[in-house]
Each structure stands twice: as C-alpha cells, then as structure tokens.
C-alpha cells in the first residue's frame, strides 16, 4: 500500500535529500537506508519492491550509482520528483567538494596535504581492488556463469594492462558475449 504524494510534500522531500547529501561519505548508496526510512517506512510513498528496483536499475545501467536517487524521485513524483531528489542529493556535496579541492590545491606542498595524499593512496588502491572483487563475486559464486564470467574478467584485465584499447569496446564485447549466453 502506498500513500499519494502531494505537491505540498515537495519541500520536505527536497530538504531530506539536501541533508542526506552532506552525510553521503563513500557515495550516495551509504544513505540508502535513511532514504528507505522516509520514503517507504515513514511516509509510505513507495513499496519495498519499488525501492529495491530503483537501486538494481541504477547499478545495472551505465553511469554512477547515484542515479538511483532520481529514479526514487521519479517513482514518487514523476519528473518533478526526479529533479528535486537529484538536485537535493548533489548540490551541497558538490559545493563542498569544489571548495575543499581548491583549498587543498593551493596548499599542495604543506606537510599536512602531502601526508594526506601519501597516506590515502594505499587505502584508495585497496578500495579499487575491493570494488573489483565485489563486482566479480557474483560470477565466482554462480556455477552456471563461472567459466564464462571469469574468462571475460581475466580477458578485460589483460586487455587493459597490455593494450591501449578504449573500455567502451570491451564493454560492447561483454554485452555481445553475454547476450549470446557465453557469460
């Protein structure tokens, strides 16, 4: 059961996303539980299934995962909802990032900023491997797609390290291989 969204709800809806923007360290996905609380639990504008679909779609589609936010907005209140949610989630964090980035590049040679760059580099490399691992896991787990998936992953790694091919061609190849049932 869902409750209808009224135009008078729009300020509250917009404000909620504005606040979440500054809490979204590590990406918008980390605030998904908070969005679920408002949209599904407290106000009943969406069902659980709607919510899950929005996240699955944004993860499957090209582009950054933050796109699940406008999809949620779209499900709640059409294009107006999509615009309110998306501007809300991006505006505060965007202004903050721009400010911090400019501040940091003016002080690039101070010990504090140099330590930041040096200290965070191994953590960031670790996170890249983590994302790769998490994305690869479904293929390792599922026996039906294991061989094709692993071959495709390994071929991609080799192509990226040994050639200068643009990633779009590899993605297209992956789509064709998958559609033919090889992955």
Q: Which long-range contacts (CB under 8 A, 24 or more apart) does 19-27 make?
A: 20/88, 20/89, 21/88, 21/89, 21/90, 21/91, 21/92, 21/93, 22/92, 22/93, 22/96, 24/89, 24/93, 27/65, 27/66
Q: Compose the 104-143 pattern: x for residues touching other proteins by CB under 8 A, - for all others.
A: xx-----xx-xxxxxxxxxxxxxxxxxxxxxxx-xx----
List binders of other proteins among 143-172 (CB under 8 A). 145, 148-149, 152-157, 160-161, 164, 166-168, 170-171
Sole window of 5-13, 35-43, 86-94 interacting with other proteins (rule: CB under 8 A): 86-94
Matching residue, tokens 């691992």:
133
Contact yes or no for 108/116 (Cβ under 8 A)? no
Q: Which of 37, 96, 106, 147 binds other proteins (CB under 8 A)?
A: 96
Q: Which of 8, 49, 60, 143 binds other proteins (CB under 8 A)?
A: 60
List binders of other proteins among 28-57 (CB under 8 A). 28, 30, 53-54, 57
């Amino acid at each position: 059961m869902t409750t209808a969204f009224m135009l008078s709800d729009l300020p509250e809806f917009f404000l909620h996303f504005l606040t979440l923007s500054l809490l979204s360290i590590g990406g918008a996905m980390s605030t998904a539980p908070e969005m679920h609380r408002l949209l599904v639990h407290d106000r009943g504008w969406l069902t659980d299934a709607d919510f899950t679909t929005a996240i699955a779609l944004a993860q499957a589609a090209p582009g950054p995962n933050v796109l699940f936010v406008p999809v949620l907005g779209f499900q709640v209140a059409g294009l107006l909802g999509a615009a309110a949610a998306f501007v809300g989630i991006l505006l505060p964090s965007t202004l903050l990032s721009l400010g911090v980035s400019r501040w940091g590049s003016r002080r690039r040679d101070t010990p504090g900023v140099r330590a930041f760059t040096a200290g965070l580099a191994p953590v960031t490399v670790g996170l890249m491997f983590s994302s790769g691992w998490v994305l690869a896991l479904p293929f390792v787990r599922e026996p039906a797609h294991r061989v094709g998936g692993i071959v495709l992953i390994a071929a991609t790694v080799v192509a990226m390290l040994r050639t200068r091919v643009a990633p779009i061609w590899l993605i297209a190849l992956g789509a064709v291989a998958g559609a033919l049932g090889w992955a």
